[in-house]
Chains A and B, each alone.
Chain A
C-alpha cells in the first residue's frame, strides 16, 4: 500500500515535470528540469524493484542532460 502511494506521488511528479518542460520559456531551465525527470524515473524504477535499470537511468539521465546543455551552448537561441 505504501509503495502504491509512493508510486502515485512519483508519477504525478513526472506529469508535473513534463508540463514544466513543455511550457517553460527558458531552454536551459527546461533541460535541467528534464534531468529531474530522469531522476524521478530512477526512484520509480527502484520502487518497482529494478535497481539495475535505475542505475542505468541515473547515469544516462546525466549524460543526456550534458548533451543537451552542450548543444544549447552552441546555438544562439536561449528561449522559445
Chain B
C-alpha cells in the first residue's frame, strides 16, 4: 500500500502542474495573433534595423547571433556541459578492477542478423555518396547561414551525423577519423572557447562584449559584422559537433563496461 502511495506522488505533482498550466492558457495570445507582445515590441525594431545594424540578410541569424549573442554563448556552454554530464554519468567506470576493455566487434552484431559483415551495399553507398554530400551541405549551411536557413548549430549537427554514420558503418578498423571521448570533450570546450574569444576580441577593439562592429581588424563595419558572425558560427559548429560525438562515444564505452560484467 505504501508503495502505491509512493508511486502516486509524481502523478499528483504532474497533475497539479498541468492544471496550473491549463489555468493560465486563457491569458496567452493565440498562435499568429498580430497583437501579441512578441510581435509588437521587438519584432518591428528587428525588421527595420536588422540589415543596417548587423549586415545579415537573415533576420533569424541577426537575432540569434548578433542581438542576442550573449544568450547564444551561454546556450553553447549549456550544451557543452550537457555533453560533459553524459560522459560523467555514462562513461565513468563502475568497477575500478574491470580494466580490460574489450573492443566490441561489429561482425558479431551483424552475423546474428544473417547479413555479411563487410560486403554491405549500405556501407558503400553511405561512405561514397551520402557522407560527402552531407559534409558539403554542412559547410554550405555554415558559411551560407548568414544569408539563408541554418547556421552553426545545424552545420555542427550535420557533421556529427557524418561521424555517427561513419562509426556505425565502418567501426573499428577502417574509418576516416577517430576521436576518443577525452579529445571530443576538449574539442567541445574549444568550440565554446572560440565563441568567447570573439567576445574578448571585441573587448580588445574597445567595444562591448560581442559587439562585432568593434573587432580589432582593419575592415569596414559590415565586414567586421560578417566576420564576427562567422567566427561565432564556427565556434558553435565545433561545439555541437564535438558534443554529439562525445555522447556517442559515451554510449559506446558504457556498452563495453556492461559487456565486461
Which residues of A are at the interface with B, using a C-beta cutoff of 8 A?
Answer: 48, 51-52, 55-56, 59-60, 62-63, 66-67, 70-71, 73-75
Contacts and interface: CB of A to CB of B under 8 A. Distances in A.
A63 B252 contact: no
10 closest Cβ pairs, A-B complex: A74-B255, A59-B157, A52-B60, A66-B164, A55-B154, A70-B251, A55-B149, A51-B149, A52-B149, A56-B154
A62 B149 CA distance: 18
B248 interface: yes
Contacts of B21: none
Q: Say whether chain A's binding surface is mostly helix, strand, loop, or mixed.
A: helix
Given A52-B60, A55-B154, A60-B157, A71 B244 contact: no
B13 interface: no
Given A51-B149, A73-B109, A74-B258, A67 B157 contact: no
B81 to A, nearest CB: 18
B154 A66 contact: no
A4 B13 CA distance: 33
Contacts of B168: 66, 70
Contacts of B60: 52
Interface of B: 31, 60, 109, 149-151, 153-154, 157-158, 160-161, 164, 168, 244, 247-248, 251-252, 254-255, 258
A21 B157 CA distance: 25
B251 A63 contact: no
Contacts of A52: 60, 149-151
